[in-house]
Structure 1
Amino acid sequence: MINTPKVAVVILNWNGVKYLKKFLPSVLASTWPGLQIVVGDNASTDDSLAFIRENYPDITIIQNRQNYGFTGGYNRVLSQVDADYYILLNSDVEVVPGWIEPVISLMESDQLIAAAAPKILSYAQKDQFEHAGAAGGFMDAFGYPFCRGRMFYEVEQDLGQYAQSDEVFWASGASLFIKKKYWDEAGGFDEYFFAHMEEIDLCWRLKNMGYKVMYCAQSTIYHVGGGTLNAENPFKTYLNFRNNLLLLKKNLPFWRAFFVISVRFGMDLLAIVRFLAEGKRKDAWAVSRAHQNFVLSIFGIRVSGYGIKDLSKDEKKSSPKTHRSRRIVHNLKGMYKGSIVWNFFVKKKTRFTDLDPADLI
């Protein structure tokens, strides 16, 4: 590259000193020239900042006044970072020295590419894909996100089956590469999401604006996963169900959104029954609250957690200006025309390669 783009790796931290100790050395070993490394801190109460200042004085620290969640935290931190490319990197990720170059090279090859992610493997089992992103994200006709290499709870071994870089529907927030100009144009994350599926919403908005989202097979990272909210946390269940409905409401045309959300309410009721049958009453309640709070949001009542939240002026000011996507060209690449639920649970198609390619846009 003649003009080397300015790249900033930005790690959002909240009480994650154990991950910083373990994984910062690998980030610092990155070979991208002039790489800026930033740790944005969401008002941690552990010794995260003391550890960085003492051991890595060249790392830039940006402190938030309180814990604004994944979405609000990144919005505030990135507004203070000057770079051509942002890399939003989870603190529980191990990288290899040359992990940045292939992704930036891919993104520089096409001005319509707004965001991308590398191959994401499991830190614990490095020959297996990791749940959060795997080999690129897709979306089915009823709004269920899934990945190449991971469908629901079935995770594949990496045997080189996804060795081709391709356009996908969404890129994982565990290691999200995004051009700053498109981050700014899209308005960053929607802070109402707080955490979970916010990157899917951002990617969908970018695609509705005519841009592309890519999977880069030539770069690999290793993700621990579940560093903040583990899979058994009912609050995570709540966020996943509520935010899934929110992104459908925001990004689909009105009548299509009305139809899909109606179907999803019925399918989510089955999820409640399943949780109750498994003795997971807190998760069943979380799904119910997700539905209630989604309905409240339709009437302009924003809800955080399980209670109503009165947004501060600061939060209102930093939220995206438009609730629905600004639609220029609806890029459907990465959409699956069928039902992933039907294929997985009824037809027992548990791998991405089991799906009919003709149903993939």
Structure 2
Amino acid sequence: MKTSIIVLTHNQLTYTKKCIESIRKYTSLDYELIIVDNASQDGTVDYLKKQSDLLVIFNKENVGFAKGNNQAMRIVSGDVVVFLNNDVVVTAGWLEPLINTLFSSKKIAMTGPVTNNDNVNGLQKIQVDYNQDTLEGISEFSKQYCAKHVHMSKRVLRLVGFALACKKEVLNTIGLFDESFGIGNYEDDDLCLRALIKGYELRIVKDSFVHHFGRITFKESKINYSHLMIKNKTKFNKKWGFDVHKYLHPHSNLIAIMPKSISRVLDINCGMGALAIELINQIECKVVGIEKNDQVIRFAQKQLSQVLHHDVETIEISEDTLGKYDCIICNDILQHLKDPWTIVKQLSGLLHKDGYLIILIHNVNHLEVMTELLQGYFSYKNVGPLNKQHLRFFTKTTIPTLFPPEMLIEKIIPIHMHVPDKIMEFVDEIVELGQKYGLKTNDLFDDITTNQFLIKARKIVDI
């Protein structure tokens, strides 16, 4: 089996040399290396012309990430295509795990390695202890990390294009990169979504490590990265009909609080299935999803075995229609409902005894709300505790009113936000002033710096 590795260059000769040299040194499988140069002017062109083992396409202008990779796709001869940024350095044994995982199932369309860089998918980033500037210690780190995670991978909804392995036959089915994204950003996300909507899976391969310096071309080309991101994000969301990145990653706090001995889970407001997929990765449980958004549910239905297209306030919540569960998740949904109290009561009836209800809910006793009220405002927004779609509002004190007597709250975990020092001083003064006048403000700082509460409640009586 042959692999076609595609690398785009636009100046940054030093990084390009490191990338190519690492590929030559650490790639033992049969491969071809295709370079597409986007009008470099720093000696990159002369360097590439002297390399006899490369297939090179020279462009007279910077045609961008999508078009450059698509040009290379016209001449690839491999069964596997790996898209690499020129500011990466591969490590020993990097390619074999990517390919082995890629062909471990017909369902898998793409695989990606773990990496060091903060700018990529949070699920692909790992903590590293080598020098990320000089790369001193990278070989030993990679060797040890990959040895601890041999044959391990996890299913996700997003892989980043800095190092992306794809089956060529899948690319022939879903199409190549969308060139309307121009210079770069979001074309890799778009490619992933086209794979997902066809029912394919994406996997992070934990025993493949690739170092990524990150955004080198953008930085040195003086491209307005923030403007480009906003422009392409708008284009991306318009193409797919919803704010995609809101649904791509599971909430890490929800995962951490989940009981481990569960076999059947109901995920209300399941989105594209990110949380359900991570639960399956970690616990191997059966997850049933409920989602009402027409655009979002298309992805969940392709990724999960059972997804119900319903509004939780209109569906019949009974054991006959939905069955029984070990755990039910209400992820950022209750504040959107007309009568969350009744819904929670009905959901508790679907739990086995000692089953859990996990709730993530916004805190209205929040700094953003307090500072608005102090200035005479209550401004609804698109996100946060003042989301214009919220119908009900809760604080740490009023959250317990949601639960019927058969449910015992075991944990209420605050999810804090960062607070600037000046605001901290302001809050401290309010606390002191409140105490002076007999108000219960001892816990005010913790409460108003809490963006959301995570609640874990257990059913102690089977009614």
Q: TM-score, normalised by structure 2?
A: 0.48
Corresponding residue for 2:204? 215
Contact 2:114 2:126 (C-alpha < 8 Å) held by counterparts: no
* Deviation of 1:70 (Å): 0.7
What are the superposed Cα offsets for residues 92-113 of structure 1, whole Å, 9 maximum, x if unpaired?
Answer: 1111131000010001101111
SS at match of 2:158: coil
Output the amino acid matched with 2:168. Answer: K
Output the amino acid matched with 1:169. Answer: L
Are 1:235 and 2:235 an aligned pair?
no
Corresponding residue for 1:113? 108
Percent identity of the aligned residues? Answer: 26
Contact 1:62 1:77 (C-alpha < 8 Å) held by counterparts: yes
SS at match of 2:416: coil
Change (3 A) 1:222 1:177: same
What are the superposed Cα offsets for residues 159-190 of structure 1, whole Å, 9 maximum, x if unpaired?
Answer: 97x95511111111110111111122222111
Corresponding residue for 1:19? 15
Change (3 A) 1:234 1:23: closer
SS at match of 1:229: helix
Structure-to-structure mapping, 1:307-326, within 5 angstroms: none
* Deviation of 1:46 (Å): 2.6
Stretch moving more, 220-229 or 237-246: 237-246
Change (3 A) 1:182 1:52: same
Q: TM-score, normalised by structure 1?
A: 0.61
Corresponding residue for 1:186? 174
The RMSD of aligned alpha carbons is: 3.9
Change (3 A) 1:134 1:238: same
Corresponding residue for 1:331? 302
Change (3 A) 1:328 1:171: closer
Corresponding residue for 2:63? 68
Larger radius of gyration: 2
Corresponding residue for 1:285? none
Corresponding residue for 1:28? 24
Change (3 A) 1:227 1:349: same
Corresponding residue for 2:238? 249
Output the amino acid matched with 1:188. Answer: L
Corresponding residue for 1:225? 214
Contact 2:11 2:217 (C-alpha < 8 Å) held by counterparts: no
SS at match of 1:228: helix
The 2-side partners of 1:330 and 1:45 are apart by 48
Contact 1:120 1:133 (C-alpha < 8 Å) held by counterparts: no
* Deviation of 1:230 (Å): 3.3
* Deviation of 1:64 (Å): 2.8
The 1-side partners of 2:157 and 2:65 are apart by 21
SS at match of 1:331: helix
Output the amino acid matched with 1:241. Answer: I
Contact 1:205 1:251 (C-alpha < 8 Å) held by counterparts: no
Corresponding residue for 1:172? 160
Contact 2:108 2:203 (C-alpha < 8 Å) held by counterparts: yes
Change (3 A) 1:249 1:60: same
Change (3 A) 1:232 1:28: closer
Q: Which runs of 5+ in 1 are unaligned?
A: 123-129, 137-146, 150-157, 264-323
Are 1:41 and 2:37 an aligned pair?
yes
SS at match of 2:218: coil
What are the superposed Cα offsets for residues 172-213 of structure 1, whole Å, 9 maximum, x if unpaired?
Answer: 111011111112222211111121121111101110111111
